[in-house]
Structure 1
Amino acid sequence: MSELINSPFVGIVLCLVSYQIGLKVNKKTHIDLLNPLLIAIGIVIIVLQVGRIPYEAFNQGGAMINMFLGPVTVVLAIPMYEQLDTLKKNSLPILIATGVGAITSIISVIGLCKVFGLEDTLMASLIPKSVTTPIAVEVASKQGGIVGVTIAAVVVTGILGAVIAPSMIKLLRLEKYPIAAGLAIGASSHAMGTSKAIQIGELEGAMSGMAIGMTGIFTVLFSLLL
């Protein structure tokens, strides 16, 4: 039994099954708060606790899935390519919006960390919270942050973005401005938010995908000045 628990198979199967359950629950309920990833995280935590499975054993398979995060992000280039003409026509607004989004995220983290008296290590860990995980991990590492905290912050930020994006679009009346809506989602909640943006609309998904890359680049550049 211990050999099975300590094999990468357990982590991989647990992640895949948990996410599939999350997808089915989300599709049946149509409740944004019941995000598939959020449900999957809950299921994994419960199984690890109840089954007394060591995190190190689970992470043997989890690390293999994590390895594909970078390549999978490239898939987001497909909707961007399909909206290439729109991207070209709006290149300047896209640059400005993603640049402002990146610096706003960084400044807000620094400001809140100062207000609550958090250590510089935690601040460095939280600065790249709004960019995709591979970029966030590298930025945090260079700044002396804690990678585990960074990953947790990125996940929470992405889930919140995916959950509240539809409501925020309605609240700010951005239904008629898909470019602005997509850029806002991608700049604030990276790939997880983009998965929701794609469901909202093709143009929103393309713009959100573009925002991921541009916000990531700006975050790296701005972090070098800290």
Structure 2
Amino acid sequence: MRLRLDKFLANKAFGSRKEVHALIKQGLVTVDSVVATKKDMAIQIPEQIIAVNGEVVDNRQQYYVKFNKPAGYVCAVEDNRHPTVMELLPPEFLTMGVVPVGRLDKDTEGLLLLSNDGVWAHRIINGKKHISKLYYIEYTGELTETGLERIKEGIVLGDGTVCKPANLELLEPGKAQITIEEGKYHQVKRMIGAAGGEVTYLKRLSVGPLTLRGIENLGDFTYLSEEDVEKL
């Protein structure tokens, strides 16, 4: 991929074009270990190695990320009322167009995928590939036998929302795991509510074959391997 040096660095969140030009003018930018002197220099990515102040710049253009989302953050690029997950991630994610793939509620924790590959993201969230999502639930109240059967068979919520059959496993009183293939608005909370309970804690443990392995702490993130990307 052929890019202008200043555009590449601006996209990588090294500042505005003006700030990037200043870095180049100060001799702080190198291309293949040679000091760059022209802001509009054409570079070839990923073949050439770009460094700023001696630190090599990650030259990836496509981003596939898994993130352990804490509660209290909304899955949006920007929000006027609440902090967003993007505030917890490197600034280059914003400048490179990386966005959440689907959503987790503000008070829900766990596995969130992000990417700037729109085709890949759409494939995951459109529901046609039947990608399972596993959640851990803590709840109050008592789930009725009728409610449990409705969830397993495909529950219809009070507003007419039709949910596909889901696998609900009771772990111990007040704790369960549920596997769904959709991501409708407040779906897990509403399904549990319709069965007689009220969710007090919700955490997504996996999306398809991808889990929280390697990002066990809240706020951790890592890049997916090519193999992981292809799995979805």
Q: Name the structure where strand makes up a greater proportion of residues.
A: 2
Q: TM-score range by the shorter chain?
A: under 0.3
How high is the TM-score relative to the length of structure 2?
A: 0.25
Q: Name the structure where helix makes up a greater proportion of residues.
A: 1
Tell which structure's C-alpha radius of gyration is larger: 2
